[in-house]
Structure 1
Amino acid sequence: MIEKNIIQDILTAAISTGGDFAEIFVEDRFNTAIEMTMGKIEKSLSGRDFGIGIRIFKGTNSVYTYTSHSDRAHLIKVAQKAAEAIKGMPLDLNFDLQLASPEIVHPIAIRPQSVEKTIKVELMRKGYEQAVKASDSIKQVVVNYMDYEQKVLIANTEGRLVNDTRTRTRYTISAVAENKNGLQTGRAGKGSGKGFELYDQIDVEALGREASRVALTMVDAKSAPSGKFPVIIDNRFGGVIFHEACGHGLEATSVAKGNSVFADKLGQRIASEIVNAVDDGTVLNEWGSASFDDEGTPTKRNVLIENGILKGFMIDKLNARRMHMDITGSSRRQSYKYAPTSRMTNTYILNGSHTFDEMVTSVPYGLYAKSLGGGSVNTSTGEFNFAVQEGYLIENGKITKPVKGATLIGTGLEILEKIEMISNNFGSDEGMCGSVSGSIPAGLGQPALKVSEITVGGREEA
């Protein structure tokens, strides 16, 4: 993407005023995004993004700049301009860039860019047709398709030089049901770090039917009760609570500044002893995986919680300096326009020993949250509220009628401590996670969890 001798010249210019570390991030990305509403293509975008980011450290201070021009003279000028923010004597940093080989390669069988757009549209149409024919009550169906191939080159004054290619493809569908009871939306989808071969492994028609099933079930549901009672949070979609209410608090982005409820709890018990959680960027072809993070460090399987004990954080290079701890291969960014920082990759609560049926039969009265929707989180306190997209009452140890309008309210620490049972039915999902380094693909997952008590906001008394 850029010749090695030019990279060395850029890095040398970046540390010319006393910086003790410099890094270059080169990105070449091909994108496709298509939106279909009620069978008609509303948006169809394809394009290429290219750019270069340059970052300089001096101690725990950093400077970041970027450009979309790649000629040598311009890049050296940009690096020198950024270096002017660093005041000091030039250091004698000798570095020899050595190309690193990835420990894990995520195989791609069919590059999405090689597939005609008409084939992608036909997949969208199949999902739409199944969703819309489910019932006359389905009033709107929106299908979104996206794929991208991101090629990156990362080099720094520690001698690291890596190349990585990240491929993502995702298909999502939402259906809106309307009747005398109002409107309700159902969603379904699948994303992966695979290529177009993903569509040989998933059924887009089934996704269309599932989106409509959720919408139709919820539009006829009664209002959810309010109060404090046991809640079973299902696998796959339920992982969003751990991701938002706990995962962000374990990123060095907030821990290093003391803006996390977990900042001073390393080595302490923060959860029920049956809870084990990891962040794993090495899972083959998973949504949040890569061979290297966005600082050129190989991704890892980082243990966050072991038997309820806080074992580690997700740490990038700059915050490692602030925290005096080792980096964990967790540095990520949306594109070359963002400086990287610590972020989640694929964040999971691991399987437990119970079955789902055992969990349900243990609840005399409570809520089964089959899937969660949007919500809000305060990462400094862990306080959260999440809407339940698809929920059901549990009565006398059985899942009974659907209920709508439920909201789960609590804190990350509280919910971790009140986990009583964990099933053995792990499932994963995919989302886009926003933070200071932009929006990135993040995997999430868990088995079903039984929490002894959560505050549930609803319209009816329990």
Structure 2
Amino acid sequence: MSNASAPFRPFENNFDEAAALGILRDTIDGADDGELFCERKRSEGLVLDDGRVKTASYNASEGFGLRAVRGETAGYSHSTQMNEAALKRAAETARLAVGSGGGTLADAPVPTNQRLYSDADPISDAEFSVKLDVLKEIDDFARSLDARVVQVSASMAASLQEVEILRPEGTRLRDVRPMTRVNISVIVEQDGRRESGTAGGGGRHSLSQLITPEAWKPKVHEALRIALVNLEAVPAPAGQFDVVLGPGWPGILLHEAIGHGLEGDFNRKGTSAFAGLMGQRIAAKGVTVLDDGTIPDRRGSISFDDEGTQSGKNTLIDDGILVGYMQDRQNARLMDVAPTGNGRRESYAHAPMPRMTNTYMLGGDANPQDIVADLKDGIYAVGFGGGQVDITNGKFVFSCTEAYRVKNGKVGAPVKGATLIGDGATALKHIRAIGNDMALDPGMGNCGKAGQWVPVGVGQPSLMIGGLTVGGSQT
């Protein structure tokens, strides 16, 4: 069975391009900016839980969003009906928000031929029966590794998003964005105690890269390793400790506690903890943070953003100095800076806003083993689960999925129930060591903002941060 279909060509099959351009120009007459964003997305998801198919889904959607922007106000209307009549109705709605006259049309984004990933449909990489067989093989293999495995959940997802953007100056931009992911969760039991471990990843590439035994077996081993570590975990201490973060996925703390605070809209409105600090030291020396949407095949990468601006490799913090924010077109214009290719939206039904792509900290020169050896009394946090952050003050709370007690430089027992509590601005300044082992996450991040979800990437080297509050079970 194949789910392949003809390429998405809205201006050949749904709209007369000249008519659509005329409606768009009428919509933004007197406004500062706007665009017609057309999208078709197809996705497939399979979940095998405890040897049984729990979910098998296929979804398809298409539609358009029409936007007119004037100053701080944006009018946005969207529809699943891809025809000229629906476009005219949308134009009437979008114009209501911007009124008439007074605007000066912003400079158009520079067209790009940048392509960072394949346009092949990953859903069609393998037959449905083959995908189910792979999930069953994962289940069987996990159970064969250890008699303590009592439950296995394996999931596989693939999607293809096709977009075309029509700009008022007449430019058309087209992008085809694949996405794949495999995720494995293992539950083990010993002496009546159950613990779990999860591993997975993916990116903007074919599904075939993830469903070979060479690709998924390491993920099974990793999920099982984490579950077995947690079987030995003791209650986490509570108090203030120095903390060493591992490389890669722990960068999710950087993403939440710092990244959101460096998005343009929060800083323009003065609601970010970093507002008004451009050019000032906000982090320890050696801390350099980038947002980079140009890494080939990465989950957070985009050839151009959802307004048509080419994605970029943008430096946010340079050797501890705040040098940039992430910008969409509207906030960049209002702040009198250039857009950075960070205008993203969840779908045609959502207006774009400044969002992260792949956000990471560059490595330093410290040996990771030496960083841990220098930890006198603290926590070594390797894996993270969910977290929350307050943008206005940067305060965060993160739960650890794999962490260890360290005393006098020796890694001791794993701890369970540890949460890290602090604020991004303080944590940045208390970074005491930066490892030479910078790594990106395996491709599993999703970011929520204002009700919209987009795929992202994170990364960092090993770090020592002084004086974080650890919430645990022991005092």
TM-score bin (small chain): over 0.9
**2: CA distance between counterparts of 1:64 and 1:304?**
30
Alignment of 1:250-261 (within 5 A): 250-261=262-273
* 2:295 is the counterpart of 1:307: no
Matched position secondary structure for 1:288? coil
In the alignment of these two chains, the number of paired residues is 459
Gaps of 5+ in 1: none
| Cα deviation digits, residues 371-418 of structure 1 (max 9, x gap) | 111121111111011111111122222222211111111000111111
**2: CA distance between counterparts of 1:453 and 1:237?**
21
Aligned with residue 297 of structure 2, among 238, 261, 285: 285
**2: CA distance between counterparts of 1:39 and 1:299?**
42
* 2:141 is the counterpart of 1:130: yes
**2: CA distance between counterparts of 1:303 and 1:371?**
26
* 2:441 is the counterpart of 1:433: no
* 2:226 is the counterpart of 1:214: yes
| Cα deviation digits, residues 265-288 of structure 1 (max 9, x gap) | 111111111111100000011110
Deviation at 1:122?
Answer: 2.5
Instruction: Quote the residue 1:324 is aligned against.
Output: 336
**2: CA distance between counterparts of 1:93 and 1:261?**
32
**2: CA distance between counterparts of 1:304 and 1:98?**
21
Moved more, 182-191 or 412-421: 182-191
**1: CA distance between counterparts of 2:105 and 2:408?**
70
Q: What percent identity do the matched residue pairs reach? A: 35
Instruction: Quote the residue 2:403 is aligned against.
Output: 391
Instruction: Quote the residue 2:18 is aligned against.
Output: 5
8 Å contact 2:186–2:224 — kept in the other structure?
yes
Distance 1:267 1:89, change over 3 A: closer
Instruction: Quote the residue 2:466 is aligned against.
Output: 452
Moved more, 137-146 or 223-232: 137-146
Moved more, 219-228 or 275-284: 219-228
**1: CA distance between counterparts of 2:423 and 2:110?**
44
Alignment of 1:409-420 (within 5 A): 409-420=421-432
Aligned with residue 362 of structure 1, among 374, 378, 383: 374
Aligned with residue 31 of structure 1, among 23, 39, 43: 43
Matched position secondary structure for 2:98? coil
8 Å contact 1:102–1:292 — kept in the other structure?
no
Matched position secondary structure for 1:339? coil
Aligned with residue 178 of structure 2, among 156, 159, 167: 167
* 2:223 is the counterpart of 1:225: no
Quick one: which amino acid aligns to residue 204 of structure 2? G
Instruction: Quote the residue 1:341 is aligned against.
Output: 353
Task: Please report the RMSD computed on the Cα atoms of aligned residues, expressed in angstroms.
Answer: 2.3
Alignment of 1:131-210 (within 5 A): 131-180=142-191, 182-199=193-210, 203-210=215-222
8 Å contact 2:121–2:160 — kept in the other structure?
no
Aligned with residue 62 of structure 2, among 46, 50, 53: 50
Gaps of 5+ in 2: 1-8, 12-16
Instruction: Quote the residue 1:115 is aligned against.
Output: 126
Quick one: which amino acid aligns to residue 198 of structure 2? R
**1: CA distance between counterparts of 2:230 and 2:106?**
64
Deviation at 1:86?
Answer: 3.1
| Cα deviation digits, residues 35-83 of structure 1 (max 9, x gap) | 1111211111112210100000122211011001111232123212322
**1: CA distance between counterparts of 2:200 and 2:218?**
10
Matched position secondary structure for 1:259? coil
TM-score, normalised with respect to structure 1 = 0.93
**1: CA distance between counterparts of 2:106 and 2:227?**
61
**2: CA distance between counterparts of 1:226 and 1:142?**
32
Distance 1:98 1:58, change over 3 A: closer
**1: CA distance between counterparts of 2:26 and 2:452?**
27
TM-score, normalised with respect to structure 2 = 0.91
8 Å contact 1:249–1:382 — kept in the other structure?
yes
Moved more, 432-441 or 326-335: 432-441
